[in-house]
Amino acid sequence: MFYTAELLLLFLCLIIYNLLIATNYKLIKRMKKIKYITAAVLLVTGITVFSSCSKEANKQTGDNKTENNTSLNNQKDKKGKMEHLTAATFKSKVFNYETNKEWKFEGDKPAIIDFYADWCGPCKMVAPVLEELATEYDGKVDIYKVDTEVEQELAAVFGIRSIPSILFIPKDGQPQMSAGAMPKEGFVQAINEILLPSNN
């Protein structure tokens, strides 16, 4: 089992906190700030741990999973709004990283790409939000999905280390990556500020 840096930091904070309480109770009484700082560190660490999944922590392997998910690639979801990308469709619709050294967007409208995995809890929370956005911004923004377990080459090209990772691609300009789950309001704000700034 792999331990992420966040879990190690959480464990270290708990040990320090317990040592301080056990050995220096009077010091803790005088320095309440230590309790508040420790609580804040624990809170931030907990939020970080639960808002994104480490690729190494829950990696599933197996040819069967790859075969099942490959059939989903390059097909529209039932509603016809989100498309699962393979490396080949990514190169033709988003960016051909084999022929271009500089970023050159191949699409005709702004796009959002959700790098996800089926086993990732936060990814499952983001999926319905993206489905709603695909309906609301139909014809204005393309929304794609990339399964990082199946399309490991794409995950490597973009250096995906935690999921979900969301790539916001304006029609002109450089793409911007966001790691971790976001609420719908965060997506709407990013769409309005990064992808469709003239529509505000």
Q: What is the pLDDT of residues 176-195, one digit of tens each?
A: 999 999 999 999 999 999 99
Q: Are residues 42 and 72 in the same domain?
A: no
Comparison of pLDDT for 188 and 2, the residue scoring more:
188
Distance CA 25, CA 22 (A): 6
Mean pLDDT taken over the chain: 76
Q: Are residues 44 and 111 in the same domain?
A: no
Q: Are residues 44 and 116 in the same domain?
A: no
Distance CA 179, CA 161 (A): 9
**Among the options 123, 126, 160, 169, which is catalytic?**
123
Q: Are residues 26 and 70 in the same domain?
A: no
Comparison of pLDDT for 5 and 135, the residue scoring more:
135
Q: 70 pLDDT exceeds 80?
A: no
Q: 34 pLDDT exceeds 50?
A: yes
Half-sphere exposure of 164 (CA within 13 A, CB side): 23
Q: Are residues 84 and 183 in the same domain?
A: yes
Q: Model pTM?
A: 0.63
Range of the domain at 15: 5-51
Distance CA 144, CA 133 (A): 11
Q: Are residues 82 and 153 in the same domain?
A: yes
Residue in 129, 112, 131 with CA at minimum distance from that of residue 171: 112
**Among the options 82, 85, 112, 120, which is catalytic?**
120
In a domain, 56, yes or no: no
Q: What residue has token string 């789950």?
A: 181
Catalytic annotation present for 120: yes
| CATH code of the domain covering residue 68 | 3.40.30.10
In a domain, 57, yes or no: no
Q: Are residues 43 and 73 in the same domain?
A: no
Q: 159 pLDDT exceeds 70?
A: yes
Catalytic annotation present for 123: yes
Q: 12 pLDDT exceeds 80?
A: no
The two structure tokens encoding residue 195:
């992808």
Which region, left, alpha or beta, applies to residue 166 given φ > 0 means left and ψ of -120 to 50 means alpha? beta
